[in-house]
């Protein structure tokens, strides 16, 4: 998918980050924060397209496969990504998390438990739609500055980077899993 951020937007964001500030990190204004959100959503679209393509390419009987005891199976990793769409992604922007997943370790474990390929794909799609709608509907002014998220004061730049970093890590994990079971990622063929 094409990226929509312009060079001018990226330069402005870079300048905002490098400008002298009272804090260790520049605090974005509403326009910069809105640009960060747009870039995040563009990256999220790209990640989602790859997650779904890979989820569709992996045979249903391989969803219970895991490389070793004690790590998530293929299906559990896809469900974990969906859980992050429902919780981590919206909260990182200051939006409400989905009530679908209880706020307990057991709630996450129950949601992420291995399931069918169809269920994993459904949750990937539904979770993505929830995250995109939640984040996209926030007023740009609410994204500016820093806010208390995840137990500390953070900017939208910090939290959005943390989410995409984590999702890219899980994409890499799923690419490694798929290659180990003989599935070539569709975009690599």
Mean pLDDT rounded to a whole number for the chain? 87
pLDDT at position 3? 39
Give the pLDDT confidence of 73-105 residue by residue, as tens digits: 999 999 999 999 999 999 999 999 999 999 999
Mean pLDDT (whole number) for 25-47: 90
Mean pLDDT (whole number) for 65-71: 95
For 2, the token pair is 């094409």
- Backbone phi, then psi, for 60, in 5-degree steps? -55, -40
Query: For the chain, what's the residue count?
Result: 189
The DSSP-derived string for 20-57 is --SSSSPPP-HHHHHHHHHHHHHHHHHHHHHHHHHHHH
Q: Do 181 and 62 touch, CB atoms closer than 8 A?
A: yes
> Per DSSP, which regions of the chain are E strands?
146-149, 152-155
The predicted structure's pLDDT at residue 150: 77
pLDDT of residue 87: 95
Q: Which residue, among 32, 136, 121, 148, has the nearest Cα to 89 in the 3D structure?
A: 136
Average pLDDT over residues 5-18: 40
User: What span, in angstroms and rounded, lies between the C-alpha atoms of 84 and 167?
Assistant: 8
How much is the pLDDT for 148?
84
Nearest Cα to 127, choosing from 93, 60, 166, 81?
81
Segments in the chain forming alpha helices (H): 7-18, 30-57, 74-86, 88-92, 105-112, 117-136, 156-180
The answer to whether residue 173 scores a pLDDT higher than 80 is: yes
Question: Coil, strand or helix: which one is 112?
Answer: helix
Predicted local confidence at residue 38, as pLDDT:
95
Domains identified in the chain and CATH numbers: 9-188 (1.20.120.450)
- Of the chain, the percentage scoring pLDDT greater than 90 comes to 70
Distance CA 125, CA 85 (A): 9
Position 15 scores a pLDDT of 40
């Amino acid at each position: 998918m094409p990226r929509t951020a312009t060079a001018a937007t990226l330069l402005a964001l870079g300048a905002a980050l490098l400008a002298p500030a009272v804090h260790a990190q520049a605090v974005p204004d509403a326009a910069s924060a809105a640009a960060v959100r747009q870039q995040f959503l563009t990256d999220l679209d790209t990640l989602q397209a790859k997650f779904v393509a890979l989820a569709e390419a992996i045979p249903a009987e391989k969803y219970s496969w895991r490389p070793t005891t004690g790590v998530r199976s293929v299906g559990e990793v896809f469900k974990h990504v969906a859980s992050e769409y429902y919780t981590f992604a919206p909260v990182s922007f200051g939006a409400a998390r989905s009530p679908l997943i209880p706020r307990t370790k057991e709630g996450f474990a129950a949601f992420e438990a291995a399931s069918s390929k169809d269920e994993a794909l459904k949750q990937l799609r539904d979770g993505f739609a929830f995250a995109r709608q939640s984040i996209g509907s926030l007023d740009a002014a609410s994204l500016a500055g820093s806010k208390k998220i995840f137990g500390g004061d953070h900017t939208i730049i910090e939290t959005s980077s943390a989410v995409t970093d984590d999702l890219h890590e899980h994409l890499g994990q799923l690419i490694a899993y798929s290659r180990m079971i003989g599935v070539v990622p569709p975009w690599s063929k």
